Amino acid sequence: MPLITLPDGSQREFSQPVTVAEIAKSIGSGLARAALAGRVREGDSEQARLVDVSHEITDDAEVAIVTAKDPDGLEILRHSTAHLLAWAVKELFPEAQVTIGPVIDNGFYYDFSYSRPFTPEDLEAIEKKMTELARRDEPVVREIWNRDDAVEYFKSIGEHYKAEIIASIPEGETISLYREGDFIDLCRGPHVPSTGKLKVFKLRNVAGAYWRGDSNNEMLQRIYGTAWATKEEQDAYLTMLAEAEKRDHRRLGRELDLFHMQDEAPGLVFWHPKGWALWQQVEQYMRKVYQEGGYQEVKGPQILERSLWEKTGHWENYRDNMFTTESENRYYALKPMNCPGHVQIYNARLHSYRDLPLRYGEFGQCHRNEPSGALHGMMRVRGFTQDDGHIFCTEDQILDECVAFSRQLQKVYADFGFNEVLYKIATRPEKRIGSDESWDKAEAALIESLERIGVDYQLAPGDGAFYGPKIEYTLRDAIGREWQCGTIQVDFSMPGRLGAEYVDANDQRRPPVMLHRAILGSLERFIGMLIENYAGAMPPWLAPVQVVVCNISESTADYAKSVAETLQQQGFRAEADLRGEKITYKIRANSLQKLPYILVVGEKERQSGQVAVRVRGGQDLGTMPVEEFAQLLQEDIAQRRQVESVAAVSPKQP
C-alpha cells in the first residue's frame, strides 16, 4: 500500500498502486482538472523526477502535482504544443518529415524537411489545424518500444530523420514514444494528458536550420511558436515582441544612419559617421571611468604567436573559435580576448608588492569565429571591442578591489539609464585548480563585495570557471528584457602559467591574483542594447546629433547656419538643415531621426537673436536666446537626463 507524502507534509495512504492523476483527484476535483504532470521521488531515489499523470506509483513516494502555474508545467505545455505542431503539419503536408522539436525561452520550435518553403499562409493553416486537433481533446499516451522496432517503424512510414535519431540510441534499449490520434513521436516526456490542455499558442515565423547544426547537411525549415497558460500572458508577451521589433537595433541602425552589416564581412560592423559619434561618446565616457578608477590604459597587439596561446591553453581548447594565420612558417591567431596581452605588459618589468594593485584597462578589439547561424546584428558578432580591464593584486586585496568595482559598475549603469541590475555569484565547479583556501577567500570576497553595497544576489553553485569564481551583472531594459553584461572573475591560474610574478614583503617571488573585469562587455553589443533600450531616441549626452537648426525661409538660412556654428564652437553636435523645403516637412523629417532638439528660426527669431525650441516628442518650449538654449543643453548633458523630462525644468516662454 503506497504511502504518498505531499509538499505540505500531509500523507495519504492508498490500498493499491495509484497514478498521479488519481492522487490529484483525491485532493480535489479542481486540482485534478489542472494537473499536467507529477514531480515524484520514489524509493531510494535522491531526486524527484517529472512524470506523466498516468504514471503509476507502487511504493511509498513524495509527490507534487504540476500545473500550468509551475515553471515545469509551462515547459510541459510548450513541449506538448511542439508535438501538436508536428501532428498538424503531418495532417496538412503528409510528405513532410519531422525531426526534433524542443522547448526554448518563451516557446518552442520544430524542424521539418519539406520539398518547398512554408509560406505565411501555410502557417495560418497549420495554426488553425492545431486548434482543431486540440479541441478534439485526444489522449496523449506514453508507449514503451524496443529501440530496433521503433527504427523499423519510422523507416516504414518514411520518417528517415526520426529513424536516424533513434538509431543513434544504443542497441537493446527501450524508448518512449507518445501517441495522440494517429500521430506518434519519439520523446522522453512527460506530456499533458490530452490535447485539450493546449489552448493558448501562436505560431510566429519560419527560419532555416541545418540538420544536426551541420552546414554540410540538408537545410530544414524551423517553425517557431509560443505557448502560455493564459491568453493574458500570451498577449503580454506578443505585445513585448511587437515593441522589441520596433526597437530592433538593426532596423534603427539603418533608419538612423548609424551602421550597417553586409555579407562580405559577416559578423563585423561598418560604422557610419553618426554611429561612430555615438560610439565615441560611450568610449570617452568609459575612458574617464578608467581614469577615475585608477586604471592605466594600455594597448596590446591584435595578433599573437601560437606558442603564447599554447601556454594559456587556448590553442588546445579554443582553437576552432580563433582566426588563425601563417607567416614565415610561424602560426598566429587574432586575439579572442585581451588577458594574455595584459600579462605580457605586466611581465615587461619586475613588480614589488608595493606596486599592487596594478590596474590595466584597454579598449581591446577581439575576434572570435562564431558560427554564422549564431550571428545576430551587433548582439552576436565576430569582431568586437571590450572595455576590458585586469587587476593584478595580492589575495588580501581581492575584497577591496571587488567592492570598488561593483560600486563603480552601479554608477556606470545608472548613467546609461539602467537602474535595475541583477547579481549572480558563480562558485567553484567540481573540476577546478587551486587550493580550497584560495577558493574560500575568493568566494567570500565576491559575496562580501555585494553585501557591502547592499544588493540582493543569487548563488549559482558550480558555475564558476575552473580557475576561479565570478560575479555576473545582468541589466533589465525598458521593456523588461535581461542582458548579461558586466563580470568580474578571480583568476589564480593564468598569471602563473604565463610567468607573472611580484616580489612580496619577504623578498620572495609570488604570482599575483588576476581579476578579469568588464562593465559594458562588448561595446558593440552594449550600443545595440542602448539603441533598443531607448528605441533610438538617445539622451542628449549620447545622441550623435544633439540639435538641428531649421530655417523657415531662404532669407534666414545664413542665421540658421550661424546658430549651428555657434553651438558647434561650444562643443555641441549641431547641424543646420538648410534644404528648400517647407518647415513642416523639415520638422517631421528631423523628428523621425529622433533628435533631442529641433530649433526653428524665421525672421522674428533672426531679428531678436533667438531660436524657437522644439523638444523631441513634440514639446514646444517657445523662443529663447541662443545662449539660454546652450545652457539648457549643457545641463541636459551634465545631468545625463532625457529631454522628455526637460519641460519640467524649462517651462514654455510667454
Average pLDDT over residues 22-42: 94
Instruction: Give residue 649's pLDDT.
Output: 46
pLDDT in tens, 74-129: 999 999 999 999 999 999 999 999 999 999 989 999 999 999 999 999 999 999 99
Distance of CA 570 to the CA centre of its chain: 39
pLDDT in tens, 68-86: 999 999 999 999 999 999 9
Task: Quote the mean pLDDT of the chain.
Answer: 93
Distance CA 100, CA 113 (A): 11
pTM of structure: 0.82
Catalytic site positions = 339, 368, 386, 388, 390, 470, 516
Residues of the chain with pLDDT > 90, as a percent, come to 83
Is pLDDT above 70 for 570?
yes
Q: Within 184-305, where are the H helices? A: 231-246, 249-255, 273-292
pLDDT-derived band at 653 (thresholds 50, 70, 90) equals: very low
Tell me the residue type at 359.
Answer: R
Please state, in angstroms and as integers, the Cα–Cα distance from residue 382 to each residue in 39, 99, 301, 411, following that order: 43, 30, 17, 29
Average pLDDT over residues 329-337: 92
Instruction: Give residue 433's pLDDT.
Output: 79
Map grid coordinates 536550420 to a residue.
209
Instruction: Give residue 645's pLDDT.
Output: 59
Tell me the residue type at 326.
Answer: E
Is pLDDT above 90 for 453?
yes
Distance CA 407, CA 292 (A): 12
Region of residue 305 (phi > 0: left; psi between -120 and 50: alpha; otherwise: beta): beta
Distance CA 527, CA 532 (A): 9
Do the beta carbons of residue 40 and residue 62 sit within 8 Å?
A: yes
Map grid coordinates 542594447 to a residue.
529
pLDDT-derived band at 139 (thresholds 50, 70, 90) equals: very high
Instruction: Give residue 646's pLDDT.
Output: 55
SS3 of residue 354 by DSSP:
helix
Do the beta carbons of residue 360 and residue 492 sit within 8 Å?
A: no
Residues of the chain with pLDDT > 70, as a percent, come to 98
pLDDT-derived band at 42 (thresholds 50, 70, 90) equals: confident
All three cell numbers of 15, joined, read: 490500498
Distance of CA 299 to the CA centre of its chain: 28
Show Cβ contacts of residue 359 under 8 Å, excluding neighbours closer than 6 positions.
293, 294, 295, 296, 389, 390, 391, 392
Is pLDDT above 70 for 195?
yes
Average pLDDT over residues 367-371: 91
Is pLDDT above 80 for 39?
yes
Instruction: Give residue 17's pLDDT.
Output: 92
Neighbours of 195 (CB within 10 A): 25
Adjacent-strand bridge partners of 519: none
- Which stretch of DSSP H or E encloses residue 585? helix 583-592
Distance CA 372, CA 381 (A): 9
Distance CA 541, CA 635 (A): 10
Neighbours of 318 (CB within 10 A): 16
Instruction: Give residue 647's pLDDT.
Output: 47
